[in-house]
Chains A and B, each alone.
Chain A
Amino acid sequence: MFSSSQKHVEPGSVVELSRPPLSSPSAGATVIARGVKVEGDFASQGDVVIEGEVHGKITTGGTLTVGPEAVIKADLVADEALISGRIEGNVTVKKQLVLHATAHVRGDITVERAMVEAGAVVEGNVHIGSGHKEAAAKPGQKASAASSSGTA
Chain B
Amino acid sequence: MNPHYAYLYDDFLSDRAYERVLANIETRLSVLGIQGRVARLAIFRSARELVEELVRDGAGTIVVVGNDHTMEKIMWFCPDLAVTIGYIPVCEPSQIGAMLGLPQGEAACNVLAARRIEAVDVGTIDDRYFLTEVRMERTKAAVDIEGRYRLSPRRAGTVIIRNLWSDKTGQAEVDARDGLLDVIIRPLTEAPTPTRWPLAAPMRLEPETALTMLHGAIRSDEPVDVLVDGHRVNGFTFQLGILPRKLKIITGRGKRMDPLLAGSTTPTLPLPESPRTAIVSRAHQALRRVRTILDGWRNWYTR
Contact = CB atoms under 8 A, between A and B. Distances in A.
Contacts of A33: 185, 187, 206-209
A41 B154 contact: no
- A contact face: mostly helix, strand, loop, or mixed: strand
A51 B148 CA distance: 20
Interface in A32-61: 32-43, 51-53, 56
B149 A34 contact: no
B148 A43 contact: yes
Contact of B209 (A40, A43, A52): A52
B13 to A, nearest CB: 42
B271 interface: no
B188 interface: yes
Interface residues of B, number: 23
- B contact face: mostly helix, strand, loop, or mixed: strand
Contact of B148 (A28, A41, A53): A41
Given A27-B262, A52-B154, A53-B154, A34 B207 contact: yes
B208 A38 contact: no
A43 B147 CA distance: 12
Given A27-B262, A51-B207, A37 B152 contact: yes
B150 A35 contact: no
Contacts of B153: 35-37
Interface string B121-144: 000000000000000000000100
Interface string B216-257: 000000000000000000000000000000000000000000
A35 B206 contact: yes
Interface bin, chain A: 20 to 34
A31 interface: yes
B202 interface: no
A56 B206 CA distance: 24
Interface string A8-40: 000000000000000000011011111111111
B211 interface: yes
Nearest to B140: A37
Tell me which of B149, B185, B211 has the highest count of chain A C-beta atoms within 10 A of its own C-beta. B149
B155 interface: yes
Tell me which of A28, A36, A41 has the highest count of chain B C-beta atoms within 10 A of its own C-beta. A36
Contacts of B157: 35-36
Contacts of B207: 31, 33-34, 51
Nearest to A44: B211
B148 A30 contact: no
A36 B211 CA distance: 12
B151 A37 contact: yes
Contacts of A27: 261-263
Given A40-B149, A41-B149, A56-B149, A35 B210 contact: no
A32 B208 CA distance: 8
B274 to A, nearest CB: 35
A30 B211 contact: yes
Tell me which of A37, A39, A56 has the highest count of chain B C-beta atoms within 10 A of its own C-beta. A37
B154 A37 contact: yes
11 contacts: A27-B261, A30-B211, A34-B206, A37-B151, A37-B153, A39-B149, A40-B145, A40-B150, A41-B149, A52-B154, A52-B209
Interface of A: 27-28, 30-43, 51-53, 56
Given A27-B261, A31-B210, A56-B149, 14 more contacts: A33-B208, A33-B209, A34-B187, A35-B155, A36-B152, A36-B153, A38-B150, A39-B152, A40-B145, A40-B148, A40-B150, A42-B149, A43-B148, A52-B154
